[in-house]
């Protein structure tokens, strides 16, 4: 322990320092100051356990010293004031400021010893109380995530039970989550793609932990509304979000997409996210959770690393957004898109260039020039016959050099794209033929684990364009078309006695009979068992 003795009289402060048996009271060092200013500086630097100060000093009084020390260090120390007989009012003020006791001049060492014993006991008790409080706070803080996870799992992952509502509401209030019982809510699910392929359990846990950190940080920075995040029993992160209306629900698509991008950026893995298609109250959360799980399952058809927002055709809308950032998608845009679709996609040109983080116009022109040459090469590889750019690439550069704003450069790039598109229309395979090839492939392989990307790869287009062309040419989404084929085949098999329902499910491409049953009823209005009964077949489930 350390004592700081403050007195402007040398004899008093040095006499106390040298002659009093400080070590007998556990005080290993005594330091001195001759005025309040130097004492305050020492107090900040050395943090003494006891300040023994004269109440009257030049410049800064003992009262002011105690007050200013208390402002910079609220606890963990005590003060004793030294006063004369006529300093009663000042002593009373010192006690109000927290001084533990006072000593009258001349100082009686026995009185000082008694005060030190009480002071040390009190400091030790206060330290124990602080340590216990810190320990208790630590235990509570460590327990809070577990408590939060338990109550949220009960609220979300189990069917609503009105008899448990009072208990759950009380626990939510304790956790400062009572808004969940009063607000309307939306739900997002985030799942790492192909997590089961990670063999190490520790690595899987690290991935899940890292995903949670990124999502939690995103909620803190980009979500201005009530939200809470927890891990469910299936290694997924569940976001519960305050959602008063459909407009807010729509805005959470952007939040989900932002989480996907940031997880890929910082954790270096792909994840899929699903957003519920409607909003509800706490009593509806289990239904929202179950629906969102079904939405998330559709990544098996559409591929991962995307946001799914509803049933198949709704989630496929995410695939339809035209982009100029991916070279393969730009190529399909100019091969199969209309002029209006090209112009629409080019609205993202300025945003794309800004992401390059160039500040000099020459650097931007150079990057656009390289972007165009790469596109020209890809277009030539797919049959574009105009070779003028290859014979004189500097003509392209000199043309771009004439324009020094992003808007004017965008217009020039758009003209290049429209020209390439016009050339392709005279010689490339028609969209109708592409869809015919896709349909043939689906009819041959519908029982396999088909996804939009896998079929797109087979017919040599990007998933976004296969999705778009499907709607244009057939009037159906990819999932609708695939589901129709599977369900027609399922009807035929259900009408034959030798097949059990789980065999039908597997034969038409659904490994989970429960999921197959849900889809079959959605498609036909009947469960497979009910459909069989209508055909006069029973007992073959």
What is the DSSP track for 171-195? Answer: HHHHTT-GGGGTS-EEEEEEEETTG
pLDDT tens digits for range 466-517:
888 888 888 888 888 999 999 999 999 999 888 899 899 989 988 778 878 8
pLDDT tens digits for range 123-163:
889 888 888 888 776 765 666 778 888 999 999 999 888 88
- What mean pLDDT do residues 96-111 have? 82
Q: What is the pLDDT of residue 141?
A: 60
| pLDDT beyond 60 at 320 | no
- pTM confidence score: 0.46
Surface-to-core class of residue 89, CB atoms within 10 Å of its CB (0-12 exposed, 13-18 middle, 19+ buried): exposed
Surface-to-core class of residue 146, CB atoms within 10 Å of its CB (0-12 exposed, 13-18 middle, 19+ buried): exposed
Q: What 3-state DSSP class applies to 235? A: coil
| pLDDT beyond 90 at 382 | no
Highest mean pLDDT among 87-91, 316-320, 497-501: 497-501
At 318, the pLDDT band (50, 70, 90 cuts) reads: very low
Tokens of 316: 């496929």
CA distance 448 to 194: 18
Q: What is the pLDDT of residue 81?
A: 85
Q: Which helix (H) or strand (E) holds 4?
A: strand 2-6
CA distance 210 to 227: 19
- What mean pLDDT do residues 26-30 have? 90
pLDDT tens digits for range 447-467:
887 888 888 888 888 887 888
Highest mean pLDDT among 30-34, 68-72, 238-242: 238-242
Q: 10 Å Cβ neighbour count for 430?
A: 11
Q: What is the pLDDT of residue 541?
A: 60
Please tell me the least confidently modeled range out of 12-21, 91-100, 258-267, 528-537: 91-100
**In the chain, pLDDT over 70 holds for what percent of residues?**
94
Q: Residue 234's closest CA among 280, 284, 292, 275?
A: 292
Classified by CATH at the fold level, domain 2-127 comes out as Rossmann fold (3.40.50)
pLDDT tens digits for range 395-440:
999 999 999 888 899 999 999 999 888 888 776 556 678 888 899 9
- What mean pLDDT do residues 381-393 have? 83
pLDDT tens digits for range 254-274:
899 999 999 999 999 999 999
At 330, the pLDDT band (50, 70, 90 cuts) reads: confident
Q: What is the pLDDT of residue 404?
A: 85
DSSP character at residue 402: T
Q: What is the pLDDT of residue 322?
A: 61
Q: What is the pLDDT of residue 313?
A: 36
What superfamily in CATH does domain 158-310 come from?
Reverse transcriptase/Diguanylate cyclase domain (3.30.70.270)
Q: What is the pLDDT of residue 429?
A: 55
Q: What is the pLDDT of residue 334?
A: 86
Q: What is the pLDDT of residue 537?
A: 78
Q: What is the pLDDT of residue 301?
A: 66
Q: What is the pLDDT of residue 378?
A: 87
Q: Measuring CA to CA, how many Å separate 276 from each of 154, 211, 256, 300?
A: 19, 20, 11, 18
Q: What is the pLDDT of residue 315?
A: 40
CA distance 229 to 123: 42
What are the domain boundaries of the chain?
A: 2-127, 158-310, 327-416, 431-534
Maximal C-alpha separation, the chain: 114
Residues in the chain: 541
From 3.40.50.1220, 1.10.10.60, 1.10.3720.10, 1.10.150.670, which CATH number describes the 431-534 domain?
A: 1.10.10.60
- What mean pLDDT do residues 60-82 have? 86
| pLDDT beyond 80 at 189 | yes
Please tell me the least confidently modeled range out of 207-221, 343-357, 398-412, 492-506: 343-357
Q: What is the pLDDT of residue 312?
A: 41
- What mean pLDDT do residues 371-377 have? 90
Q: What is the pLDDT of residue 460?
A: 82
At 206, the pLDDT band (50, 70, 90 cuts) reads: very high
């Amino acid at each position: 322990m350390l004592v700081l003795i403050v007195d402007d009289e040398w004899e008093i402060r040095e006499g106390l320092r040298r002659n009093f048996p400080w070590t007998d009271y556990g005080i290993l060092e005594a330091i001195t100051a001759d005025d309040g200013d130097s004492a305050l500086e020492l107090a900040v630097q050395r943090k003494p356990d006891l300040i023994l100060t004269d109440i009257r000093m030049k410049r800064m009084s003992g009262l002011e010293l105690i007050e200013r020390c208390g402002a910079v260090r609220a606890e963990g120390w005590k003060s004793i004031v030294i006063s004369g007989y006529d300093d009663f009012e000042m002593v009373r003020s010192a006690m109000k400021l927290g001084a533990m006791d006072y000593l009258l001049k001349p100082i009686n060492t026995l009185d000082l010893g008694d005060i030190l014993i009480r002071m040390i006991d009190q400091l030790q008790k206060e330290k124990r109380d602080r340590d216990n409080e810190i320990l208790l706070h630590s235990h509570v803080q460590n327990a809070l995530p577990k408590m939060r996870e338990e109550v949220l799992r009960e609220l979300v992952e189990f069917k609503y039970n009105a008899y448990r509502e009072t208990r759950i509401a009380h626990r939510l209030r304790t956790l400062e989550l009572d808004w969940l019982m009063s607000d309307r809510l939306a739900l997002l699910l985030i799942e790492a793609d192909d997590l089961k392929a990670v063999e190490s359990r520790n690595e899987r846990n690290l991935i899940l932990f890292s995903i949670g950190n990124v999502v939690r940080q995103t909620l803190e920075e980009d979500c201005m509304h009530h939200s809470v995040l927890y891990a469910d029993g299936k290694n997924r992160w569940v976001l519960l979000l305050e959602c008063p209306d459909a407009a807010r629900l729509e805005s959470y698509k952007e939040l989900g997409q932002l989480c996907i991008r940031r997880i890929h950026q910082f954790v270096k893995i792909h994840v899929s996210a699903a957003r519920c298609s409607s909003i509800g109250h706490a009593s509806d959360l289990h239904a929202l959770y179950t629906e969102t799980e079904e939405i998330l399952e559709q990544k098996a058809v559409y591929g991962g690393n995307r946001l799914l927002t509803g049933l198949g055709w709704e989630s496929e809308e995410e695939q339809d957004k035209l982009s100029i950032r991916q070279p393969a998608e730009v190529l399909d845009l100019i091969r199969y898109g209309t002029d209006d679709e090209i112009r629409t996609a080019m609205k993202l040109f300025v945003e794309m260039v800004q992401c390059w983080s160039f500040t000099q116009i020459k650097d931007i022109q150079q990057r656009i020039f390289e972007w165009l040459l790469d596109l020209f090469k890809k277009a030539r590889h797919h049959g574009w016959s105009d070779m003028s750019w290859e014979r004189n690439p500097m003509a392209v550069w000199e043309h771009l050099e004439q324009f020094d704003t992003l808007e004017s450069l965008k217009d020039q790039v758009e003209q290049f794209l429209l020209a390439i598109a016009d050339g392709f229309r005279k010689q490339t395979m028609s969209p109708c033929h592409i869809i015919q090839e896709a349909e043939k492939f689906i009819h041959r392989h519908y029982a396999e684990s088909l996804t939009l990307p896998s079929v797109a790869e087979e017919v040599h287009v990007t998933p976004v364009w296969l999705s778009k062309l499907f709607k244009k040419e057939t009037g159906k989404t990819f999932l609708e078309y695939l589901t129709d084929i599977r369900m027609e085949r399922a009807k035929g098999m259900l009408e034959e006695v030798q097949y059990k329902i789980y065999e039908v499910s597997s034969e038409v491409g659904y490994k989970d009979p429960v999921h197959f049953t849900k889809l079959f009823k959605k498609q036909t209005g009947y469960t497979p068992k009910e459909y069989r009964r209508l055909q006069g077949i029973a007992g073959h489930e």
